[in-house]
Amino acid sequence: MNRQPQASDTDVGQATPPVDRDELLLGRLREMGASVDRLRSADEWQQYLKAVARLNSYSVGNMLLIFCRYPDARLVNGPKAWHKLGRRVVDDAWDEPIMILAPRLVKDKKDPNRKKLIGFKPVRVYELRQTEGQDLPDEGWELPPKGEVPGLWEQLVLLAESDGVTVAMAADNEGPPGALGWYNADLRTIKVREQRPDTLLHELSHHFDPELAGSTRAARELVAESCAAIVADQVGLDVTTQAEKYLAGWGGGEVALLRVLDRVQRAHRRFAPLVEAVNDGR
């Protein structure tokens, strides 16, 4: 179904159909050669999470556009930002930008304080390999090596507590058998059987999932495992992710998968102070 507003809708004075952001975005991504369905394979999903860990701040749509062009992208900027870093786009690459999307917003006639999304317009950016010039400083943009991360448990507890979540050790007879930890959203409590950062990271990812309530178990676990994998990459924690287990059983369509990706990135952003604190303390 085409849910984009047609010019004729307003011309003849009919109500404009509501713009479905996800459908609009998916349509634009398809036109530009990026596909959400590509991520249904476990390998591609893992690679995508790594790309999010490296590139950090892009929206889901733009991450997909960058990932489909360069799955191993390390650093992406517009020409001006590259210039500030002392680099320039090489001549051969100039006409081959990665096109990402900027939202097209117009004033909402019903509420002048609000803007409404009517579409997306392409913006040119370039990956590191398409540029030349000064060497980049070593620190601050490459992911740290994997290993033990001193102080990570304490930082996770701090982050949980700063958001009103209590972390406590479980009694022997408490909780689901076999579970290393669990999160109770009503009580804002995380219980764990051992002081393992990977367990706490997973449970805290559930807490930061913006659509935890009312979500299916597969989607909830996929969000938490994926968010935890990105944070783990950014702080250098070695974890075995179960994301592919939940991805394999995934029955949702393209829109549902797009929503999961969006939840992952929104949950992940909540870990920004922790990632910064851990890497500053190295």
Contacts with Zn ion by CB under 5 A lie at 221, 224
Residue 64 or residue 261: which is nearer to Zn ion going by CB?
A: 261
Nearer to Zn ion, 78 or 175 (CB): 175
Nearest-approach distance from CB 71 to Zn ion, in angstroms: 27
Quote the CA–CA distance of 87 and 82 in Å, as a whole number: 5
Q: What is the smallest separation between the CB atom of 231 and Zn ion, expressed in angstroms?
A: 14
Do 273 and 161 meet the contact criterion of CB atoms below 8 Å apart?
no
CB of 221 to Zn ion, least distance (A): 5
Amino acid at 254: E
Nearest approach in angstroms of CB 188 to Zn ion is: 16
Closer CB to Zn ion, residue 198 or residue 221? Answer: 221
Q: Per-residue b/e over 93-108, b at no fewer than 16 CB within 10 Å?
A: eeeebbbbbebeeeee
Closest to 239 (Cα-Cα) out of 247, 229, 227: 229
> Cβ of residue 177: shortest distance to Zn ion, in angstroms?
15
* C-beta closer to Zn ion: residue 62 or 205: 205
| Angle at the Cα of 38 from the Cα atoms of 216 and 68, rounded to 5 degrees | 125
Question: Which residue sits closest to Zn ion, CB atoms considered?
Answer: 224
- The residue (of 55 and 247) whose beta carbon lies closer to Zn ion is 247
Tokens of 270: 């909540």
Residues 6 or more apart whose CB falls under 8 angstroms from that of 157 comprise 167, 200
Beta carbon nearer to Zn ion, 98 or 224: 224
Residue 147 CB, shortest distance to Zn ion, in Å, is: 24
Using the minimum distance from each CB to Zn ion, give the nearer residue, 149 or 224. Answer: 224
Q: How far is the CB of 217 from Zn ion (least distance, A)?
A: 9
Q: How far is the CB of 269 from Zn ion (least distance, A)?
A: 19
Kindly tell me which of 224 and 227 has the beta carbon lying closer to Zn ion: 224
